[in-house]
Amino acid sequence: MSSATAGAPSLQRAPTFFSPGKLGMWLFLGSDAMGFMGLIGLYMVLRISSPDWHNPALDPTMGLGLVAFMTFVLIVSSVTMVTGLAAIQRGSRKGLLVWLGATILGGALFLGLQAYEWAHFIHLGHDLAAAFTAETGRAAPFTGYQGTFFMLTGFHGLHVTIGVIYLSCIWLRAWKGAYSAGSNSPVELAGLYWHFVDLVWIIIFTIVYLIPDPAGGYAA
């Protein structure tokens, strides 16, 4: 190593510990990404082809604030996850337990907020459907917006739920002393899954909540 590079942290590509488990997780994430992209593609096509698409961030009760906070919670949970992995790679089991616990709490908080958001929109939908029926005497039509919004955010919420259970299992094993500086591959694999869930939400947040209606405007 030359003296010029000896003291500086090298960011050039270097091999990480490679395992069949890691390849398997990446194959799973690749196929899962295609599932998500199918739903996102469907959402985009229906939205583009509809002249009066409802943006959930325009709802005066929920606004953009709640979902922006949910996004922040997931971003924080990603940094706590990767900090937990770094801790066990240094041999700190206590660090792993603390940071992984924070990640699990972040995921649970996200799910609670999403449940609150869903409950609001479901009640709102019932009220709107009742008003439509009272006015026209017909059953309210099922819209593409309802189908794609609940399908897309629900599919992501299912992944968060599985992630919280997955991380809780890893936390329990860590508590029993299963991982060390030299043996932490399951923590890394769980981290890959969790970051993927965060990455998908970044895209959902932009496409579903941030792109406004053609009329524009937000309820902040």
Partner 1 sequence: MTETAGSHHPYYKVFAWLTFFTIAEIVWAMPEGMPRWLLIAGLGVMATIKAALVGLYYMHLKYEGRLIWTVIVFPVVLVGVMVAGLLPDAFGYW
Using CA atoms, how far residue 93 sits from 63, 104, 148, 166, 180, in Å, is: 41, 16, 42, 18, 7
Q: Which is nearer to partner 1, 130 or 211 (CB)?
A: 211
Q: Which of residues 32-61 bind partner 1 (CB under 8 A)?
A: 33-34, 37-38, 41, 44-46, 48-49
CB-based contact 143:78 (threshold 8 Å): no
- HSE, CB side, 13 Å, CA atoms: give it for residue 106: 25
What is the Cα–Cα distance from 183 to 91, expressed in whole angstroms? 9
Neighbours of 164 (CB within 10 A): 21
Closest approach, Cβ 18 to partner 1, in A, equals 7
Select the residue interacting with partner 1 from 21, 30, 91, 147 (CB under 8 A).
30
Can you state the percent helix, strand and coil of the chain, rounding each to 5? 75, 0, 25
Binding mask 136-175 for partner 1 (x = CB under 8 A): ----------------------------------------
Looking at residues 181 to 220 of the shown chain, list those that interact with partner 1 (rule: CB under 8 A): 191-192, 195-196, 198-199, 202-203, 205-207, 210-212, 214, 216-218, 220
Does position 21 bind partner 1 by CB under 8 A? no
Which residue in 2, 3, 4, 10 binds partner 1 (CB under 8 A)? 10
Report yes or no: 167 and 104 within 8 Å, Cβ to Cβ: yes
Please, what sign has the CA dihedral across residues 144, 122, 157, 219?
positive
**Residue numbers at the binding site for partner 1 (CB under 8 A):** 9-11, 13-18, 22-23, 26-27, 30-31, 33-34, 37-38, 41, 44-46, 48-49, 64, 68, 71-72, 75-76, 78-79, 81-83, 85-86, 89-90, 191-192, 195-196, 198-199, 202-203, 205-207, 210-212, 214, 216-218, 220
